[in-house]
Amino acid sequence: MTTTRERSTGARFGNTNSTKKVRDTSMPPWFEWRTSKRSARCIRFIETYCVVPKGHGAGRPMRLAKFQKELLVELLDDATLRAGVVSIPRGNGKSTLVGAVALWALYDDEHSPSVPVVATTIQQAIRTVYDTARRMMEVSPELADRTISYTAIGGTKLFVPYNNGSLLPLAADPAGLQGLDPSFAVVDEVGFVSQDLWDAMVLASGKRPRSLVLGIGTPNVEKAGAMHQLRELWTSGISMPGFRFVEYAADVACRIDDRVQWSKANPAIDAGFLAVDALEMAAAATPEASFRVFRLGQWADAAECWLPVGAWEACEDRFDLVEGARSWVGVDIGLKRDSTAVVVAQYRPDGRLHVVGRIWDPRAGTIDIADILAHLRDLCDRFDVAAISFDPRLFELPARQLEDEGLPMLEVPQSVDRMGPICANAYELIVSGRLAHDGDALLTDHVRAAQQRPNERGWTLSKSKSRRHIDGAIATCLATWEASQPEPTPAPTPSIAWV
């Protein structure tokens, strides 16, 4: 039986920003459902009481797509699951789905449910999931009659008197989240929050028999943040009891115009609420790496990465450098806290230029310049080294010592004028497949981390813009540049005229 007892929210809850009166405080009809599976109850609740607030199907009752139902089954029906992360590209109804699930978690629980929505800022939390949920509540008479909506600064929330439940937006403040006791928590755009924030949410949960922390979002343009770290652990095969990672993404190094891959990464296309022409426009108008991150769900290295995604990986092909063969060496010396890299380039029998690098990482201890000099001497003993290219800014005195010993040292100041064509040459070798490498993990990380710095003459690689060490990339550019230059033609021996 439904009661109609009215209650003034301002007097009872001390918030004059809410003037709405709750007209229904009885137990709701969904508490009488015989359905016991959490995913089935959630789906039924959403399709019965939630209305699409905007976009495709706005104003109509929500009808969940097959992939959305399957996702809810995976996340809600495992009683051991305490935390999950969903990586999905933009445009797949993320905020609408999560807003509706948050409402279900708020209303379909008898035991004082607490449903925080966390984002990098409280404005973001309000603007995305929370506002979506609030609008759904407002247009549903059944839900609106049971809910008090607070809008006070620092006190924005939805409150449900019959079960003492609350849904509230929060900023990503790890210290402030420790005291929470969530029954269901949403971490929006989890790809852009810190691991500390995620850890705080997980540590705050688990105080109830059933609770779930759900992180959802697109990958980050940087390989950083909670989602990336959790994905690395998950894909490495490390056992993570109570945790699940769900990823919607295109295959690595796929063509960005591959429409089969568009559908693989974006299940909303086949579901009928993501238009293909939106991806066509994005593919034509945005940088490739950005398209891969936000539309294909891939972890591109950076929105300004100097190489197309997968180009360096496609060049991997092991080869043993030939002793005594003509070779070229590039050296990039780092400062005290920077790396130092030496890369050797040598032509393979098939005409490709093969590079092998050695990198000294300062995190492994102090870099000994004597070790670097010894390595360069060893290379000259093993191979017919035509040139050792180096920037004299940090290596001038050691280079002079090596030059005095007979090593072919070549000064290459890393000015914009000099480095522009040098970097462009390496780019062309890589994307055309005329360069090969052994797949060394550290050299690969340096190459993939490098970013372009545009200038009035084109571009170079930027250490300041790049988020990790790129000395291996610079050394590769130096070595391959000299290897690509025509060998000087020996001057003819002058003839002697006998009189």
| Residue at a domain's end among 227, 247, 267 | 247
Strand partners for 331: 342
Query: Does the structure show a pLDDT above 50 at 33?
Result: yes
Grade residue 493 by pLDDT with cuts at 50, 70 and 90: low
Q: In what order do the strands lie in the sheet with 340-347?
A: 409-411, 384-390, 326-332, 340-347, 353-360, 435-437
Query: Does the structure show a pLDDT above 80 at 56?
Result: no
* Domain CATH code at residue 479: 3.30.420.240
232 and 325 inside one domain = no
- Average pLDDT over every residue of 417-437: 92
Residues with Cβ < 8 Å from 308, sequence gap 6 or more?
288, 431
Grade residue 175 by pLDDT with cuts at 50, 70 and 90: confident
392 and 473 inside one domain = yes
The Cα–Cα gap between 338 and 357 comes to: 16
Grade residue 495 by pLDDT with cuts at 50, 70 and 90: low
Supply the pLDDT for residue 253: 78
Would 302 be classed as within a structural domain? no
Query: Does the structure show a pLDDT above 70 at 2?
Result: no
Would 287 be classed as within a structural domain? no
Q: For residue 266, which of 94, 92, 66, 57 has the smallest C-alpha distance?
A: 92
Query: Does the structure show a pLDDT above 50 at 8?
Result: no
Of 357 and 155, the one with more pLDDT: 357
| Residue at a domain's end among 247, 263, 295 | 247
Would 234 be classed as within a structural domain? yes
Query: Does the structure show a pLDDT above 70 at 48?
Result: yes
Would 66 be classed as within a structural domain? yes
193 and 333 inside one domain = no
Strand partners for 310: none
56 and 165 inside one domain = yes
Would 252 be classed as within a structural domain? no
- pLDDT by residue (tens digit) across 208-261? 888 999 999 998 866 778 999 999 999 888 889 999 999 999 998 788 899 999
Would 355 be classed as within a structural domain? yes
Reading the block at residue 50, the tokens are: 């939630």
Bridge pairing between strands 83-87 and 212-217: parallel
- Average pLDDT over every residue of 300-319: 79
Would 258 be classed as within a structural domain? no
* Domain CATH code at residue 117: 3.40.50.300
∠ CA 232-236-240 to the nearest 5 degrees? 85
Question: Which residues form the domain of 444?
Answer: 313-484
Grade residue 25 by pLDDT with cuts at 50, 70 and 90: confident
Supply the pLDDT for residue 462: 80
Would 490 be classed as within a structural domain? no
204 and 329 inside one domain = no
For the chain, the average pLDDT equals: 87
Query: Does the structure show a pLDDT above 70 at 1?
Result: no
Structurally, the chain folds into a number of domains equal to 2
Grade residue 365 by pLDDT with cuts at 50, 70 and 90: low
Supply the pLDDT for residue 387: 96
85 and 177 inside one domain = yes
Dihedral sign (CA 263, 268, 273, 274): negative
Query: Does the structure show a pLDDT above 50 at 84?
Result: yes
Total-model pTM: 0.62
243 and 317 inside one domain = no
| Residue at a domain's end among 220, 247, 274 | 247
